[in-house]
Amino acid sequence: MKYEQLAKDIIENVGGKENVNSVVHCITRLRFKLKDEGKANTDVLKDMDGVVTVMKSGGQYQVVIGNHVPDVYKAVVAEGGFQGSSPVDAEDEGKKGNILNSFIDLVSGIFTPILGVLAASGMIKGFNALFIASGWLDASGGTYQILNAIGDALFYFLPILLGYTAMKKFGGTPFLGMVIAMALVYPALEGIPKAGEPLYTLFKGTMFESPVYIEFFGIPVILMTYAMSVIPIIVSAFFAAKLEKFFAKVIPDVVKMFLVPMFTLLIIIPLTFIVIGPIATWASQLLGQATIWVYDLSPIIAGAFIGGFWLIFVMFGLHWGLVPIGINNFVSQGWDPILALIFVHSFALAGAILAVWIKTRNSKMKTLSAPAFISAIFGVTEPGMYGIALPLKKPFIFTLISSAIGGAMLGVFGTVGYVMGGLGVFQLPSFIPESGIDMSVIGAVIAAVVGMVLAFVLTYFFGGINKNQEATPVTEEKVAEKTVGNTKAETIVSPLSGEVKNLADIDDAAFASGALGQGVAIEPTEGKLFAPVSGTVTALFPTNHAIGITSDDGAEILIHIGMDTVQLDGKHFTSHTTQGNRVEKGQLLIEFNIEGIKEAGFPLTTPVVVTNYANYEVTPACDAVVKSQDVLLQVKPK
């Protein structure tokens, strides 16, 4: 490991692993909570290669590393045997903020780690159905059976994967979550209802009528089918994490390693079978029925709404509220209309991008359009959405309109999904029922073609593609872009409106010393941060308080909103971009609540620095007060 020795030295000089309560990282520094800061060798750490400086603030012992802190953090966690966590986990448990944000964070934390393999498995199942429908394979043949096992295994044992990710999200031991899920899908228990008559029946005559085949110390156990289930294991993992933490506090250290998991499993697994599992299963069934009921009211309106707003949902992270509903529908109903209704959005975007690609006279936009078009066809919309459609505005609007019309058509044709497939062309096989290709599948193809063609026509003729690309006037910024060797000099505009300060005058030693970069600081007067250059978001901290951007000409810019604001756990910050996205100069990136941050007791002084300053001469070129998009820094290669 590249940073293994550095990690060992850092752990040794913060007083050893036994002196560490927790460690997290922000965008530039490791943040330790030490049992005794007096045991740390601060002077040794400051002089260490790979360490910029050491700071003590907010009850944290901060070892400033710089841009490669995520790699150092991984090495420190591995070397110290610490449990990896985010700043959200390390602070007061439970994310502060509104209920919607908390829900989105919860769902994304549980499902994101498995989405890739989940989609891959769904695609294999979908293509297998296509092979059967087209006569390429025989359902009784070995090839079909093996492909079916590959595609179906994840879905059957889905609770085991969710047990891992849910326990990790709730702060418990992930392997405990897996064992709970293994008990839920244990074959011997699943086979009991098929082996004989029930002992008696509970809730007879109601929608919750349940035969009882076994008892646990005289308590009736309602055996459910938990294979492919979602909600029961997540609820169980939540309570298991609480139980584990309780036992970890009361059980002596000498026997903690095996007694904590033993007591946790002995309590939570029977509790899950007796109470949590049945209630969660009924809840999931009701949720599935409710979404189908809404869809049945008007598939056309549902399709227009979900299809038309899907890209907006993605921009704000709201799509995470629909993804688990779709997955739950697959489990409880065997099919899902919700995620099927988004099928057209990537094709509509591809049509808009294709129109830009053909018509634009801007060489840079034309270069971007080709890979963005291909990505959109395969369901990856971020390059085209953030790099082309949104900056040009009208193509984005036409994409939404075309996607809404396509979604309505999907509702008319009754297109639904039978497995969790991929996106773009890879989603199509997931619409094929066991009976073979029918009008709902053909309708999906028609809707995709209509959405793509409509977006192309609207964008080509009414998109204003070349309106702002005819001739760029000579400005102060263009004068600064003279070529120096193989690199261009750049002008960096202000990402904020506010009062400009010298870095040396701010109350943060790491930034004030210039060790993290050269630039200025701004005391913001408006809670909006805009892109200071056109380029790529190379770093965005999960709490949205800091962002790193690499310009098209190579300057690496770090903007850190406020001092120690990582401790706010994302409260008062809203991001409008994600790491890896392309952004255009002047694009809104982050909004933040100035009053809320001040009331929480954190300074808002915001450093704006060029971190690869060793390659540049960085010169402030601004007045004492700036507005966003005013010239802030001149950057000239050395």
Positions marked catalytic: 26, 560
Tokens of 400: 């939404």
Q: How far apart are CA 471 and CA 631, in angstroms?
A: 21
- Quote the crossing angle between the two packed helices 345-359 and 439-462, to the nearest 10°: 30
Question: Following DSSP, what letter does each residue of 483-519 receive, concatenated?
Answer: EETTEE-EEEEPSS-EEEEEGGGSS-HHHHTTTT-EE
Contact of 285 with 320, CB cutoff 8 Å:
no
Q: Which residues contact 96 (CB under 8 A, 6 or more apart)?
A: 568, 569, 571
- CA nearest neighbour of 225 among 201, 189, 177: 189
Query: What CA–CA distance (Å, rounded) separates 157 from 175?
Result: 15
How large is the C-alpha radius of gyration of the chain? 28
Tokens matching residue 387: 């790099």
Beta-bridge partner residues of 491: 634
- Asked if residues 4 and 10 have their Cβ atoms less than 8 Å apart, the reply is no
- The 8-class DSSP code of residue 495 comes to S
Instruction: List the one residue out of 391, 387, 321, 371 whose CA is nearest residue 536.
Output: 387
Cα separation, 525 vs 527, in Å, equals: 7
Q: Are 448 and 345 in contact (CB under 8 A)?
A: no
Give me the helices (H) in 439-587, please.
439-462, 476-480, 509-512
d(CA 554, CA 610) in angstroms, rounded, equals 10
Contact 145, 139 (CB under 8 A): no
624 φ, ψ to 5°? Answer: -70, -25
Helix, strand or coil for residue 604? coil
- Report the alpha-carbon distance of residue 552 to residue 534 in Å, rounded: 6
As to burial, measured by CB atoms within 10 angstroms (0-12 exposed, 13-18 middle, 19+ buried), residue 49 is: exposed
Q: Centre a 10 Å sphere on the Cβ of residue 284 and count the other Cβ atoms it contains.
A: 23
